[in-house]
Structure 1
Amino acid sequence: MSETVVSTPEHTPTEKWWMLIGVLAAIFPILALLAVALPTDVYSSLIAAPFALLGSVIMLLSPLIVYFDKRYVTTVSDWDPSGWYYWMIVPPLTLVLPYLYLYERHKYVGTP
């Protein structure tokens, strides 16, 4: 009689989701710098448009990104990120919450 061993692979969440939050945190200062440094014309808009598009896409996906990073953080540390971080999708809060999230994550996980 042979035993059949059924193995179920454990899914461990990836640790790389914080990088997208870091990109979101970097996009808005870059856009502000471009707005100050470049004249307001069509050509400047062509330079800033890819950054604005990338920031908008990441901002819209931020609740999903926070969810996946929260799964990783809670498996490797004592920190359970607040539900407030899901509000990163709201434009005025996008200017503050990514920095707070990365700061708190660094305190508990050590990365970034």
Structure 2
Amino acid sequence: MDTRVVKPEQARIFMEGLEVCREYFKTDLITFGTSELQPGQTGAVDTGHKNSHEVFFVSKGKVLLRCGNTLYQLNEGDAQLIPPGEPHQLTNIGDCTALVTWSLTPSEYI
């Protein structure tokens, strides 16, 4: 596999509700991207990935993660492991843009 740098403007951009998502890498083994939400915005419900764990890492801001029926407050620097097949949704509960990085493996996102 080649080593490469992907800039935000080169990433595949898509929306999940009001959530701006950027997919930087997708291979057979891993998917990596980011989600950005403005204060007060909530993204769409992601129905989960039946064969993949997903990791969220809050790079900037503060979010509320609904994972199944449980709510988690995640602050900058926090990480959360989402089990396979678990529906989840992000809400920005801070006063600045929230940036969450996410990764899952094996890859089966979108």
TM-score over 0.5 (shorter chain): no
More helix per residue: 1 or 2?
A: 1
TM value normalised by structure 1? 0.27
Please identify the structure whose Cα radius of gyration is greater. 1
TM-score, normalization by structure 2: 0.27
